[in-house]
Amino acid sequence: MNDRNTPLLWGDKRYHAFNYHLRELFGEKVMKISLNAGLSCPNRDGTISSGGCVFCCPQGSGACAGDPEQAITQQFRAIRERIQKKWPRGKYLAYFQAYTNTYADPAYLKSIYEEALAQEDVVGLSISTRPDCLPEEILDLLAELNKKTYLWVEMGLQSIHDKTLERINRGHDSTAFYEALQRLRSRGIRTCAHIILGLPGESEAEMLQTGQAVADMDIQGLKFHVLHLMKGTALVEDYEAGRFSFLERERYINMVADILEILPPSVVIQRLTGDAPRHLLLGPSWVSNKWQVLQGIDDLLRERHSWQGKNQHF
């Protein structure tokens, strides 16, 4: 950062990037390997609903994860082999990404988590789940893991607005997220929230309210996503009926920058934009050019002479 009044905190980035955080912690490149444990979700198996969240594809947000027909060890080795063609050296986080990765018998979950941790050069775990799938026995298991390894639990918040959560068939309200976060943090577990910008019916002001709410939480990490439409999702019908439209790229970039400016500098930004396999993506088309979006965010922060936390409310 070259601006005289800008703190040089995160290398060449104006936000607390996950890559920077991991390099500082482990002293080298650390990469995520996305695994698919073949689990389900209470919002799909009929416990809550059979339709799932309206934006969730049949692969359960795991379209880029491993093959669920393979064991964890096989998935890990196959993906690592592909990664090593670009990054021959480094360490790995085993990322349980697809569906709800605390929604199973604790003994089974312990076995797959430990199988992943046993893989060569794995330094930790990242476990993606829902706030309504963290009963006490699972929290105890996570607390045990947290004492032994570097651990993140990722939870989908998406929005703080209950009317939005109902509209997207989320299956829980915002209170469920707050309560789950409190239980995780009482055990000292790092927690990463997911939010989605551009959800149907939400105004820019409402999206920024979600950003401010996250800034006020005891959150260690954040992932930004833009709503994008994928084949096989319930959202396709709404889009074809004209009930919502996509965010434009420049508007998304501006909103991400606005939220970064109010976040505490300690929050690790694990993702600034989501993407999707091209064969599944129906729109917006600009989502496919991830690096252009990332560059746009970098450029805008530079133009604003701004950085993460600049406008934080203390």
Distance, in Å, from the CA atom of 308 to the CA atom of 266, rounded to the nearest integer, reads: 9
**Amino acid of residue 150:** Y
pLDDT at 302: 95
DSSP letter at 14? Answer: S
β partners of residue 229: 283
The total of other beta-carbon atoms located within 10 Å of residue 305's CB is: 13
Which range, of 68-72, 121-125, 173-177, averages the lowest pLDDT? 68-72
CB atoms within 10 A of CB 144: 14
**Alpha-carbon distance values, 243 to 41, 54, 112 (Å):** 27, 13, 41
* pLDDT reported for residue 58: 62
- Return d(Cα 149, Cα 272) in angstroms, integer: 26
Helices (H), the chain: 18-26, 72-83, 106-117, 136-148, 162-167, 174-186, 204-216, 235-240, 249-262, 290-303
Q: Does the pLDDT at position 122 exceed 70?
A: yes
Topology at the third CATH level for domain 18-303? TIM Barrel (3.20.20)
Tokens of 307: 């950085």
- Strand pairing category for 268-271 and 229-230: unpaired
Q: What is the residue-wise DSSP string for 131-143? A: TTS--HHHHHHHH
Give 225-281 pLDDT, tens digit per residue.
999 888 888 788 888 888 888 999 999 999 999 999 999 999 999 999 987 777 888
> 10 by DSSP, 3-state: which?
strand
pLDDT value of residue 233: 82
Give percent above pLDDT 90 in the chain. 73
User: Given a cut of 90, is residue 9 above it in pLDDT?
Assistant: no
Please tell me the distance from the alpha carbon of residue 59 to that of residue 57, in angstroms, as a whole number. 5
Q: What is each CA distance from 212 to 3, 112, 236, in whole angstroms?
A: 26, 36, 30
Find the mean pLDDT for residues 46-52. Answer: 82
Mean pLDDT in residue range 127-146: 97
Structure confidence at residue 78 (pLDDT): 94
Please answer whether residues 121 and 88 qualify as being in contact, where contact means their C-beta atoms are separated by less than 8 angstroms.
no
**Span 195-205, mean pLDDT?**
95
Beta bridge pairs of residue 190: 152
Q: What does the pLDDT look like over 92-108, one tens digit per residue?
A: 999 999 889 999 999 99
Q: What is the pTM of this model?
A: 0.93
Residue 111: predicted pLDDT: 97
Domain segments of the chain as ranges: 18-303
Is the pLDDT at 1 greater than 50, yes or no? no
